[in-house]
Amino acid sequence: MTDYIWWRDGVIYQIYPRSFADTTGNGLGDLRGITSHLNYLADLGIDAIWLSPFYPTPDADFGYDISDHTAVDERFGTLDDFDELVTEAHRRGIRIVLDLVLNHTSDQHPWFQTSRANRDNPKTDWYIWHDTKPNNWQSVFGGKAWTYVPERDQYYYHMFLQEQPDVNWRNPDVYQAQMDVVRFWLERRVDGFRLDVFNVYFKDEQLRENPRKMGRRAFERQHHIYDGDQPELIPLLEELRTLLNEYPERYAVGETFFATSQKILDYNGPNKLHAAFNFDFLWSRYKPELFLNAIENWEKIAEETGIWPNYALSNHDVPRPATRYANGEDDARTKLVMAMLLTLRGTPFLYFGEEIGMRDISLRRNEIMDPPGKKYWPFNKGRDGCRSPMQWDASSHAGFTDGKPWLPVHSNYAQRNVAAQSDDPNSIFHFTRKLITLRTEYPALQRGNFVKVKTGVDGVLAYQRTLKNERTIFVALNFTDKGKETLLPEGEWEDVLHLSSPRVIKCKLAPNGIRLLAKY
Ligand code: NOJ
């Protein structure tokens, strides 16, 4: 595979480190835990790991409030552990993508500690300070975005928690310090980055009021015109890309806050970021026409610009697909969306545990850890649900830890775990692994065009993936709970998913059934 590009052709697997595997018994997953499961990940067939933050953090936002961007929180290990993880991952052909949170730091970060102490210090201007509350800007997690500090008799701005002050990217020293963080990790052989809310790095220089609109929460009752998406971002993205290009095969995917097609066009491309997440797809309901809409929007962007699409079904902020789509413990619907994820034209992102169909945990109010959950329960129960520990086996705490897990393990773990599913050829684990293998066996699934197929059958989504000199793949997905039958496109077809029925004459689909056929 000479023309293989890992971030285009491969599958990226997101790990939320504190929930993956604990080797110390402190109830939190750690870097060594990830290293110890690399063989599992290599066997699953993934090409890269995106690691959610493992940097020192006071845990106001569970890792997304960082107090040192170039170190490892001692609860998760050491820099030596990190280096070992990179070495061992690379040995298996697995790339490492880090989560870079450069919009804000923790309020415990030494930069902020210095900055907040008084108005006359070397970092006085490293955050966004103002004598009054200058505008109506709101915090995403609730409340005003400006917090008073008596030592300075001033307010600072935080788009998220008050423990997450936004840095002042307009200050050249800050800019340089952030670029140094990127370089630090590149030098440590990191292959790419996921950029947390990168498009809000810059805010309006005059700090103007956001116009109002209708909405539920205060944050949603404004148009976010001035607290993000400023023109200064473009040269920054270009510089970041130049830095990445100094190293071979590096990659950056951006988490675009309030993503729109226009923003994706503005921030991605050959001189800017490589990729942007597709949240319309990720948040879609279980309806073929809604998924298709999200896919076609991306196809259009890709066609116009050459930006490579990507697809995910969940992440550490979003309920898992099985929680949203499945009927009870049945995996038919989860398999269907997994088949779609892994056969579309775009990089698939898997969130850890999706391969075994993990479901969210539900917590009582007094068990909630996540700040928005604490604040808005029961309307918003927070994001703890999708962050519960990985279910490895049927032993206590699902083999995740010998201690007390930081979040409860799902009660279904005795049945739903990696060990049990490895022994069951019909499990979603085997299904996922098979699809990942098929992607490598049929290059059309990686790089081929996406061509919608009109079936005329309600509830069925069908498409072909075509690539010159390679076998065409036909995919049909029945989103209904009833059996369906559709026409096959012209030609002779081989069932490459169910090898028991290689030559297919009719496209029969079981309820929530999947057909994946290769043209002879
Ligand atoms: C987006 C991250 O995905 C989320 O988990 C975090 O709370 C916010 N950014 C703030 O960093």
Question: How many of the other CB atoms lie within 10 Å of CB of 330?
Answer: 12
Active-site residue, selected from the candidate residues 30, 73, 196, 299: 196
**In the block, residue with structure tokens 């790339």:** 95
CA of 196 from ligand 1 middle (Å) equals 6
Does an H or E element contain 251, and which? strand 251-254
Write down the pTM of the prediction.
Answer: 0.98
**In the block, residue with structure tokens 């929460």:** 217
Using most ligand atoms within 8 A of CB, pick from 163, 197, 316, 383 the residue to mutate for ligand 1: 197
User: Which atom in ligand 1 lies closest to the alpha carbon of residue 64?
Assistant: 11
User: What is the spatial distance between Cα 477 and Cα 232, in angstroms, rounded to a whole number?
Assistant: 44
The set of protein residues with a Cβ atom below 6 angstroms from ligand 1 is 61, 64, 101, 160, 196-197, 255, 316-317
User: What is the spatial distance between Cα 339 and Cα 330, in angstroms, rounded to a whole number?
Assistant: 16
SS3 of 324, please? helix
**Smallest CA separation from ligand 1 atom 10, residue:** 64
User: What is the spatial distance between Cα 409 and Cα 395, in angstroms, rounded to a whole number?
Assistant: 11
The separation between CA 267 and the C-alpha centre of its own chain, rounded to angstroms, equals: 18
End-to-end CA distance of the chain: 22
Active-site residue, selected from the candidate residues 151, 246, 423, 490: 246
| Type of residue found at 4 | Y
Residues with Cβ within 8 Å of residue 87, at least 6 apart in sequence: none
Question: How many of the other CB atoms lie within 10 Å of CB of 177?
Answer: 16
Q: What angle is formed at CA 123 by the lines to CA 119 and CA 127, rounded to 5 degrees?
A: 85
**Is 196 an annotated catalytic residue?**
yes
**Is 280 an annotated catalytic residue?**
no
SS3 of 1, please? coil
Q: Note down pLDDT in tens along the chain; length 520 residues.
A: 568 999 999 999 999 999 999 999 999 999 999 999 999 999 999 999 999 999 999 999 999 999 999 999 999 999 999 999 999 999 999 999 999 999 999 999 999 999 999 999 999 999 999 999 999 999 999 889 999 999 999 999 999 999 999 999 999 999 999 999 999 999 999 999 999 999 999 999 999 999 999 999 899 999 999 999 999 999 999 999 999 999 999 999 999 999 899 999 999 999 999 999 989 999 999 999 999 999 999 999 999 889 999 999 999 999 999 999 999 999 999 999 999 999 999 999 999 999 999 999 999 999 999 998 998 888 889 999 999 999 999 999 999 999 999 999 999 999 999 999 999 999 999 999 999 999 999 999 999 999 999 999 999 999 999 999 999 999 999 999 999 999 999 999 999 998 777 788 899 999 999 999 999 9
Q: Note whether 160 and 141 are within 8 A (CB).
A: yes
